[in-house]
Amino acid sequence: EMFRLLRTNLLFILGDPGQKVINVLSSIGGEGKTFICINLAMSLALLDKKVLIIGLDVRKPKLGEYIGMDNETGITLYLTGNLGKKELIRPSGIHPNLSIITAGPVPPNPGELMAKPSLDILIAECKEKFDYIILDTAPIGIVSDSYALNRFADVNLYIVRADYTPKKNIEDATIL
């Protein structure tokens, strides 16, 4: 029920049908970004919306593991030119309206990959095919990758976990 409430509030904030990219952030690992991405995506898919989750935490990817998919292919291979678009987007196997792009193998240059123009082109093309795109990102308190992804976001969903997230990180998030 809490994901339905989250979905309702996000849909109200997004408002315009052209706004479809939800960037899910947190300050440190273990706060539940991937869990929330998957459940929010399912909540939207149940509304008969086509949803895509893109695993952009390429340093410590969890999306494929949580969904039960291998991480041998994914966004890192696509951005380095080693994977075509047809092999990139895969059905989730959970719901027919939910598709997944896993992170792929951990690259030596994650920050540079997130800045590639080919990612901009991919997101623009996906916005034409999907009703919602959810970005599962790396923690912002540890690496700068997620800052580069703000260029796509129509809304940022900042995740905190009770009795886990340091209060200092929450205070720092208010100045982002």
Give tens-digit pLDDT for 32-84: 899 999 999 999 999 999 999 999 999 899 999 999 999 899 999 999 999 99
pLDDT tens track for 96-110: 999 999 999 998 888
Q: What is the mean pLDDT of the chain?
A: 88
Alpha carbons 53 and 163: distance in angstroms, whole number: 27
Tokens encoding 45: 């898919």
Q: What is the mean pLDDT of residues 137-154?
A: 78
**Which range is least confidently modeled, 30-44, 78-92, 132-146, 158-172?**
158-172
Residue 95 confidence (pLDDT): 96
**Chain centre distance of CA 133:** 7
Tokens encoding 127: 């916005």
Residue 102 confidence (pLDDT): 96
Q: What is the mean pLDDT of residues 154-173?
A: 78
Which is more confidently placed, 27 or 40? 40
CB atoms under 10 Å from CB of 68, counted, come to: 9
Q: Assess whether pLDDT exceeds 60 at residue 137.
A: yes
Q: Assess whether pLDDT exceeds 80 at residue 173.
A: no
Alpha carbons 81 and 116: distance in angstroms, whole number: 11
| CA-to-CA dists, residue 172 to 27, 38, 153, 165, 168, angstroms | 9, 26, 20, 12, 6
